[in-house]
Amino acid sequence: MPNTAVTTVILAAGRSTRMKSSIPKALHPIAGRPMLGHVLATVSSFDSNRTVLVLAPGMDDVARYAKGVSASLDIAIQEKPLGTGSAVRAAEAFVPPRDGVVLVVFGDTPLVRGQTLSDMIGACRPETPVVVLGFEATDPTPYGRLVLNTDGSLARIVERKDATVKELAITLCNGGAMAVRAEHLFRLLARVTNENASGEYYLPDVVKLARAEGLGCTVIRAPEEDIQGVNSRAELASVEAVLQHRLRRRAMDSGVTLADPETVYLSADTVFGQDVTIGQNVVFGPGVEVANNVTIKPFCHIEGGRIEEGAQIGPFARIRPGSEIGRDVHIGNFVETKKAKIEEGAKVNHLSYIGDARVGAKANIGAGTITCNYDGFNKQFTDIGAGAFIGSNSSLVAPVKIGDGAYTGSGSVITKDVSADALAVERSKQFEKPGWAASFRARFSGLKKAGE
């Protein structure tokens, strides 16, 4: 990208009216990240000098999220919903006057690529100070058309309702985003009127005004899928599908085997090493890192954890936030971990819950073991030493420490610390009554016959 000052203005004042939601549109998640987060990540990819987020009054939750992602971001308020031109004008106080390029993007179009926006900025030169994002539409019916001059420059943007029959045949459509040199943008916006059916000030009118002054306007094209906006739950699902396809392809290109790609769901921040194998119906929530040579078997859900090299997970395992799965660890079927550090070579193979705990290297956790970590008010810690053997159906009542190499007998409820290399067994004494079962059956069999 040329060395020029760039101010990016993100329009995100939508309130999810058509989505029938109390959650602002910009915060609806796609691939584990709020929609606005994707736009902010794209903007950060080309080092915008300044970013201004335009919101409606009262959208404090959106502002907090955005500031959490980019503390240097400025917040502008569009006091009344009077159109995209009005929204951009709300950001004027944050844009350095007569300096560089102003890039306008939308908070509900999360699929636009950073390279496309960088190309728009690069094309925004003194001789072409207005650049519009365009796309070839499969069905252009809902969109404004981009009318070109014979030299390929942009002549005007025509709204669908105002288009002639000839103009309606155009398939090159307005993708929304625009780059305008700062020395022209707000002067042109000040001349935009609201003389239209909606009584709003439209950003695309800048093109008509620029051309009237003899200023050059041009178009940068993007694939149609890249400019998909989100105004409904159906459109949210459509954008999710596109992004999942991109993420799966990126994973496979980096050395990940997906047994059935369409059934694996990734988050935008999922990180994989090489030679990772993932089975069918696996879901990755936010915050997951997977090292080399890891196998994740079908029907696992993994969120907020790191899995080290050589580990095997699943099938039907749930790895919850704060889990650290060490090198060559085995986590088996119907095992759940939460805020647990499972050290190198340890095994938790069957039907167990390990939460707020450490499992030492090469320890073995028997089937049905649970760490009883919650007392109704606080979470307590369980420490299981290296080489320990926890018998099946053990309950470890935290806080408790199992020493290195210690054993617990199957079916035990362990409430006290166990010394290294010791055996701890907690069971009531087994006793036997000869013949009891036969007499029990005979008694109740007779009562049943009498009642028939």
Instruction: Give tens-digit pLDDT for 25-70.
Output: 999 999 999 999 999 999 998 877 899 999 999 999 999 999 999 9
Position 449 pLDDT exceeds 70: no
Q: Give percent of the chain above pLDDT 90.
A: 87
Does domain 233-424 bear CATH number 2.160.10.10?
yes
6-227, what's its fold?
Spore Coat Polysaccharide Biosynthesis Protein SpsA; Chain A (3.90.550)
Q: Could you report the per-residue pLDDT of 188-234, keeping only the tens digit for each?
A: 999 999 887 778 899 999 999 999 999 999 999 999 999 999 999 99
Predicted local confidence at residue 1, as pLDDT: 44
Look up 350 and say whether it is catalytic. Answer: yes
The verdict on whether omega for the bond into residue 315 sits within 30 degrees of 0, i.e. cis, is: yes
Catalytic residue among 38, 184, 301, 350: 350
pLDDT tens, residue by residue, 348-392: 999 999 999 999 999 999 999 999 999 899 999 999 999 999 999
Q: Quick check: do 6-227 and 233-424 share a fold?
A: no
DSSP bridge pairs for 318: 301, 336
- Give CA–CA dist 5/99, Å, rounded: 7
pTM comes to: 0.91
User: Domain segments of the chain: what residues?
Assistant: 6-227, 233-424
Least confident span in 90-99, 252-261, 267-276: 90-99
